[in-house]
Amino acid sequence: MKVLYIYAHPEPKSFNGALKDVAMVTLANMGHDVRVSNLYAMRFKAVLDAQDFRIRARHDIFNPAMEQIHGMSTGSLAPDIQEEIEKIAWADLLIFQFPLWWSSMPAILKGWFDRVFVQGFVVDIAAGKVYQHGLLKGKRGMLVVTCGSPEEMYSPEGVHGDLHRHLSVIEHNILGFTGIEVLPPFIVFGAPALPPNRVPRVLKEYELVLSSLPV
C-alpha cells in the first residue's frame, strides 16, 4: 500500500514526534511504501494567495476557486502545491497527524488543505463530482489526533463538546467531500499529562492500529 503521511507538529522531540516515528517504523516493517509531508520541517506556506498561480485566469480580480481550476487545467500551480498533489495522486491512504489546537487542526495544516485540495483535482462542483462522486474516490484517509484535555472534557456532555463533532468538519466536510473513505481516527486524550509508564502503551496501541489497517 502507498501511504502519504501528512504531519503537522513543530517539535520533533514531542509526543507527536514519537507517534510519527512509530508510524514510520511500523508502516515500513509492514512493507508499505511511505512518503511524508512534514509541514513544519518543510516550512510549508500556509496562506492561499495570488502567488500560488503562475498563469492567472484573470488579473483584474482574484477568485481562488477560478484560479485553482485554471491552474490545474494549465499545469501552472505553484511548485510546492503541485508536488503535494502528485503525492496525493500517488497514495492509496492519507494519514493526517496533528495536535488539536482550539478544537481544530493547526493553521499550517488548514493552509495545506486550502492550497493543495485544489478544485479540479479533489472535486468538480460544476459536474456534481463531490462526496461519493468526489475525484479522490478510491482513496482512504485517517486522522491521528492528540488532545491537551482529558476525554471527559471532549465527551458529548463535556465542556468542549463531543470531539467527534469537531473532527467531523475535517472527516466529512473535507475528506468525505472529496470522495475519500474515512477510517476511524486514533485519538490520544490528555497527551501532555500522560504518565511516563503510559506513553509506551499508547505508542504500542498506535502500532497495533497501523498493523491492522486494511490493505
Residues noted as catalytic: 148, 154, 160
d(CA 125, CA 134): 9
Instruction: Find all residues with CB under 8 Å of 165, minimum gap 6, and list them.
Output: none
Determine the angle formed by the axes of helices 79-90 and 107-116, rounding to 10 degrees: 80
- CA angle 116/120/165 to nearest 5° reads 60
Yes or no: say if 67 and 81 are a contact pair by the CB < 8 Å rule: no
How far is residue 21's CA from residue 181's CA, in Å, rounded to a whole number?
Answer: 25
Separation between Cα atoms, residue 164 and residue 171, nearest integer Å: 9
Residue type (1 letter), 49: D
Farthest CA pair distance, the chain: 60
Measured distance CA(87)–CA(150) in Å, rounded: 35
- The set of cell numbers assigned to 214 is 486494511
Around Cβ 29, how many Cβ atoms within 10 Å? 11
